[in-house]
Amino acid sequence: MMPRHSSESSVRCVPATVSGVADVDELARHFRNQAMTMVERAPFSAEICAAVAEDREIVELLLAAPHEQRLPVLLLAAIHDQVLGDPACELGSWYPTVSRSPRTDPVAGALARHCRTHAVQLRQTIGTRSTQTNEVGRCGLFVPALGLLDAEVGPLALVDIGTSGGLNLRLDRYEYHYRPGGSVGGPSTVRIETGTRGHLPIPSALPSISGRFGLDREPVDVTDPISARWLTACIWPEQTDRFRRLSAAIEIATEQPVDVRMGDAVDDLADVTRTAGALGHPVVLNSWVLNYLPMQRRAAYVAELEQIGAERDITWVYAESPAQCPGLPFPDAILGEHVTALMSVRWRQGRRSVDYLGRAHPHGYWLHWVGRPSTNALAG
């Protein structure tokens, strides 16, 4: 099955796995750990996690989620979703996403009052939602790779795995600024800025996209205001640049629908790739998705791509973590590292080649281009 997505994949959270009272103690520890990992990049969210960790009644709200979803970020998203739905609520005055001048005094008291008042609604959200979002900043990583492909094979038919709302399938509707390097695309309300190192091959024009297909276990209908609000709620509220960018991408998405299908990453991959191949060169994309697949299922995903590549030309471009996705073809030098590696695997006339394109920020804020063949063999 498709994984449920993390809104902040660069932070590793371990779900609670025991039942009863011990669950609450373990979850409180996870909130404390989350606070420590977030404090530099998301200090307000870190403050909320620290406050939750000391309030057993709020921690217990997370028990409404399935075991695999008992993550601090899910509770944070559920609270943020309520604030976005009612900006005038007391807690909203601390949130940069709804307040022009957010309060900076301690939030713990207002947080406790809010969670107790809205406990029933929070449990409902936590029990039925998952931390699923699109990080459109990753399009800044894909564009150079897709530009090279466009020059090689012509129009591209994209197949985005774990696509959620399919926002990354509209990457040719955004504008990109690489510093240093140059710009491509636009004008657009979605502006993506990426710091660079190395000889980044910035295309003179955005790649030609002849087909767009998404595959997800739980697709998000971005034309539905409630579903779209949930996507924005999964953004940490102090990261207002990501929040505005995602909101703008959702607006574009409502104007240009794409084919997003409910399906399984392995079982339905061949069918959707075959459909895409009728429109152009099929390119399978995934970013911070495969770490949510069990090892055996991830190996099956790679094996399925191998089978498809044996039958027709195809390219697989992905941005994943070597540490969290063992078994994928990464260079030996970065095996086991907690980095985001940008990779390209090509099958041409049944022959496979693997290229390590670079290492990157998980949200696309920077890309260190390498662009060289990788000698590490594919698993499977």
Q: Of 98, 128, 158, which one is at a domain's C-terminal end?
A: 128
pLDDT band at 375 (very low <50, low <70, confident <90, very high): low
Q: Is the separation of the CB atoms in 16 and 27 below 8 Å?
A: yes
Interatomic CA distance for residues 193 and 343, integer angstroms: 20
Q: Is the separation of the CB atoms in 273 and 127 below 8 Å?
A: no
Q: Are residues 119 and 172 in the same domain?
A: no
pTM of the predicted model as reported, rounded to 2 decimal places: 0.87
pLDDT at 351: 96
Residue 15 has pLDDT above 60, yes or no: no
Q: Are residues 183 and 237 in the same domain?
A: yes
- Is there a domain that residue 362 lies in? yes
| DSSP letter (8 states) at residue 258 | -
Three-state SS string over 314-338 comes to EEEEEEECCCCCCCCCCCHHHCCCC
pLDDT at 286: 96
Alpha-helical regions (H) of the chain = 21-38, 43-53, 56-59, 72-85, 108-117, 119-128, 139-153, 225-233, 240-255, 269-277, 295-311
pLDDT band at 376 (very low <50, low <70, confident <90, very high): low
CA-based nearest residue to 317, from 288, 345, 291, 277: 345
Residue 14 has pLDDT above 50, yes or no: no
- List b or e across 96-131, with b for residues whose CB sees 16 or more CB atoms inside 10 angstroms: ebbeeebeeeebbebbbebbeebeeebbebbeebbb
Residue 20 has pLDDT above 80, yes or no: no
Q: What is the DSSP string of 199-210?
A: -----SSPPPEE
- Is there a domain that residue 217 lies in? yes
pLDDT at 378: 47
Q: Are residues 111 and 152 in the same domain?
A: no
Interatomic CA distance for residues 189 and 251, integer angstroms: 9
- Is there a domain that residue 4 lies in? no
Sequence-ordered list of residues with C-beta below 8 angstroms from that of 83, at least 6 positions apart, any chain: 89, 91, 92, 95, 97, 98, 237
Q: Is the separation of the CB atoms in 32 and 53 below 8 Å?
A: yes
- Longest Cα–Cα distance of the chain, Å, equals 64
pLDDT at 4: 42
pLDDT at 68: 79
Q: What is the mean pLDDT of residues 11-24?
A: 45
- For 185-206, write each residue's pLDDT tens digit: 999 999 999 999 999 999 999 9
- Is there a domain that residue 3 lies in? no
Q: What is the mean pLDDT of residues 290-306?
A: 94
Q: Which of 77-91, 104-118, 140-154, 282-296 has the lowest mean pLDDT?
A: 282-296
Pairing type for strands 281-287 and 156-161 reads: parallel
pLDDT band at 218 (very low <50, low <70, confident <90, very high): confident
- Is there a domain that residue 243 lies in? yes
Q: What is the mean pLDDT of residues 22-29?
A: 88
Q: Are residues 153 and 298 in the same domain?
A: yes
pLDDT at 257: 86
- Is there a domain that residue 36 lies in? yes
pLDDT at 132: 77
State residue 155 phi and psi, 5-degree precision. -50, 140
Mean pLDDT, all residues of the chain: 91
pLDDT at 119: 98
- For 108-155, write each residue's pLDDT tens digit: 999 999 999 999 999 999 999 988 767 999 999 999 999 999 999 999
Q: Which two tokens stand for residue 255?
A: 């104007």
Q: Which two tokens stand for residue 222?
A: 């971005």
Q: Are residues 87 and 228 in the same domain?
A: no
pLDDT at 69: 85
Q: What is the mean pLDDT of residues 294-306?
A: 96
Domain that holds residue 113: 21-128
pLDDT band at 380 (very low <50, low <70, confident <90, very high): very low
Q: Of 112, 128, 144, which one is at a domain's C-terminal end?
A: 128
Question: What total number of domains does the chain contain?
Answer: 2
| CATH number, position 292 | 3.40.50
- For 337-360, write each residue's pLDDT tens digit: 989 999 999 999 999 999 999 999
Q: Are residues 114 and 237 in the same domain?
A: no
pLDDT at 22: 52
- For 222-279, write each residue's pLDDT tens digit: 999 999 999 999 999 999 999 999 999 999 999 988 999 999 999 999 999 999 999 9
Q: Are residues 251 and 219 in the same domain?
A: yes
- Is there a domain that residue 237 lies in? yes
Q: Are residues 30 and 179 in the same domain?
A: no
